[in-house]
Structure 1
Amino acid sequence: MRLYFILGLLILFQPLLAQRPVKNAFDKVNSPYDELNPVISPDGRTLFVTIANHPSNVGGKKDQGDIWISTMGENNQWNAPVHGGTLINDASFNAVAGVSSDGTQLFLLGHYSTNGPVRTQGIAVSNRAGDSWSRPENISIPYFQNKASALTGHVTSNRAAFVFSAETYGTRGVEDIYVSLRTSDGKWSEAKNLGGVINTPFQELSPSMSADGKTLYFSSNGRKGQGSFDIYSSVRLDDTWTNWSVPVNMGAAYNTEGREMYYRSNEMLGFMVYTSTKNSDGYGDIRISILDEPYQQDKKDSVIYVEMPPVARDTVSRVVEVPRAPADGKNVRVHGKITNAKTGEAIAATLLFAAPTNNQNAQASTDNGFSITIPSTDDYTVRIEAKGYVSTMEKLDIHTYELNDLEMNFRLQPIEVGTTVNLKDVLFEQGKTVLLPTSYPELDLVVSFLKANPNVKIELAGHTDNRGIPAQNVKLSQARVEKVKEYLVGRGVEYKRITGKGYGGAKPIASNEDEETRKLNRRVEFVIKKS
């Protein structure tokens, strides 16, 4: 059965550095003060970090943060940072929003004035001047306003988009995440709210984008996380910037009972950075997550990395797609790891790659990793099963000759009471209880899962959106639950192991404001009631 994933599809355009940082790379940077907003230059050699309440800040110990600069030193560690100077720092909160891909422009959060800090007008840009940076030039964003005490956000390295967190027009509570896009004439568009899938009535902070501009990372205290602020990821589904997959918690590998923020995915450099208050030597410290394999691309090979976040109640299933092209006789190596979504430990699993159009199957097993070579001329259904874990299914479209190497990492949920599984491919004819044929593979995987785990009992839950008469929605959702139960029982699952209830539109997992998010609420789930 298929759990819902957000896929980060990261296409690499630059070679990596010959050497990458080590796990203690920030030992000389972290201090008793509050380290915030770490930004790495594209070449991986310079770190820009905001340090709050440092006595050497422009505003002294009361200063919310100045930009400090560190360079890569010996043993792949960053040197102790030095103050960035008074051109790019003032008595307000100062932070770097991004660095251009050629390293010549530094985008800064906020405006600058000789008469004091300006809080309301967006971003500024500083140009490289030898070994230093020029006086910032303010960039205006129409109708920009921020009522919050500080501005957080990210200008992408191609200078095409600025995602930011602000309390402003149309917020759903306090800070929401917005985007401003650079137009063809070089100006920046009016900010657009990313919508109810991303934003909650609470705080969404420190957003950033992946290198390909498809995956959003941000911190929030408005979801059921592990601490005060957790890091989440979401995939942009189209160019409207308001259609997103439901955010997924990045899991225990990053999030703790502390405050995790400022995640930056430096995938082309082979590592990610973020901040955490857990076990810090002050209030917040910089953390690093180093990839097992560096991302590389040469003139012959294309490498695509696909990260499967942990399965959760509020996740969305996506098909992995890459550009189509003729590919007779071409192969692709698919490799990766299967890990426990809670602990991050590698687990033994079996993967079945099935090409329905030509009945061609391939199987791989893994303890610490898997690697399998399959024709790149087909589309596949990937079925992942592991003892003690909820099975899952994913669709894989690799119908292209350009793809030679694909990394897929799956994080599976342990079988335990309370785990909720959203059956995205279980669909019905509109307004009816007639199952569509596309539902059967996923339902058959549920059957297989239940037969392999005879002690597991589940409760089916049917949901609709909020349109129509509530009583009729409940009736329809209940009838669809009974239809799914009938299918499972008809294929050998004991009747007493399955209960079910229709909830109508009472338990949405996404906004009902528009069709793209409303359709996420029309779903069938099951909840493990006994493991």
Structure 2
Amino acid sequence: MKSSIITFIMCLSLASVAQVAFEGKGETVDSINTSNGQNYLVLSPHDRSIAFTEERGGAPNSTELYTSQQQTIGGESRSILIFSDWLGEKGMLSPIGFTSDGLYYSQVTFDKGMFYGKVKYITDGKDKDVEIPFLKNKSPIQSGCLSKDGQYMILSLEANNSYGVEDLYIVKKKVDGSWDRAKNLGFQLNTEFQEVTPFLAEDNRTLFFATNGRGGQGGFDLFYTVRQDESWRNWSEPVNLGTQINTTGAETSFAYIDGEEWAYYVSSQDSDGYGDIMRIKFKEEIEEDTTEVVESVLVKEDVKIETPISIVLRVVDAKSGEKLPAEMIFGDSKRIGPNGLFEIDSLTGDEVELKSPGYLPTVIMLDEQLQPGENMIKLSSVAKGSIITLDHVLFHRGTAEMVEGSEKELNLVVEVLNDNPNIKILLKGHTDNTGDPVKNVQLSDARVKTVKAYILSQGINAFRVTGKGYGGNEPIASNETEESRKLNRRVEFEVVDD
């Protein structure tokens, strides 16, 4: 098809790279830290304010959003704003970022078994909700940052299209001053684990964040990455900030102001312990981009409009690669694919379920992780003897408490048990080989009991589900590195009867 259009072409390289370096080790900011935990720190680029959340036990006893005080840090007077995290009520407030005359913050509440996250804005003593279309956070925590120019907000939350638990999302301000919907920053950054406490540097390209999904020194490590284009989904490989900052504990909430000597962050030597605010001497250099920028305008002419390349999902057996008859379920709709093929005409960011008789279903997102052309969707057989690892059933460190969102994959197990009433399964819990072997067996057994209890709570008969914890006795990978040890920490199920 031909059409007359005016075309504007711009070739702009984003090849420059941030170089991050530190001097010495981090030091505690003793004038701020208390016996309560400090978390979710943000700095104001407009004045010398610091805001953070402080953990508090019990229920909220005040309608006050935050307390304010003056502190002298390194000889400089700063305004300190302290928000409250009421652990007893599973509710929290956390600052997102400052404007020249106000402050954005997150609020998470818990009601009738569900968490609800929103963004709010306070200015001149007036507090109002920030309208972000379709914003939904199912996690008990929510953190974020605001760009210095106020045009971008990056949020850490768990939505229906998250890759695991908390993911990073971009929210852009539109020309009319309203906010657009939150969009996932993509699989190059987000993992099946947690990505939290983002910080966007003043170049609006260099992004710092904390994650427990990329190995490192401890529970959470701090990383940085550089945005490569305007899609906000193409990022450089995240770089660990190194042992000058990251420890065997958990490090989060890295932030700094351009031109200032110190960067700030939150550190805990125990991932289940309290956080302290730290600072470290910091230097960031942006390499100059010498790539020529070419702009040209083509006059009105007839051009051929190419038909977009379609995206095809091919459902196959995970072991043999053979095509499977399948169905695709999205919302209340269903499509049948006798030969396992489904053509996708738009990437909506929505979730769809793909299933085939005798196989464990899977859920995928219709987003940019799908490539033009054919995409293989592998399903695992639930025939007798099959062993399937539940990659997205996660637990809080050192406990048998499931991470919020693990129910997604367990619901698929429940679904396959309902669809195949003769199937019986053995749940198997595993750890790596670090720590006390006896305690590892006890922990893996406790986690199996948690998973079993959830499956039974969904109406599955108890005689169909048994379980056992194996500790570190059945590794599937080396225990020499954190990356391979991570593979050994797993819950799986074996089909013992079909």
TM-score by length of 2: 0.49
Which structure has more strand as a fraction of its residues? 2
TM-score (norm 1): 0.46
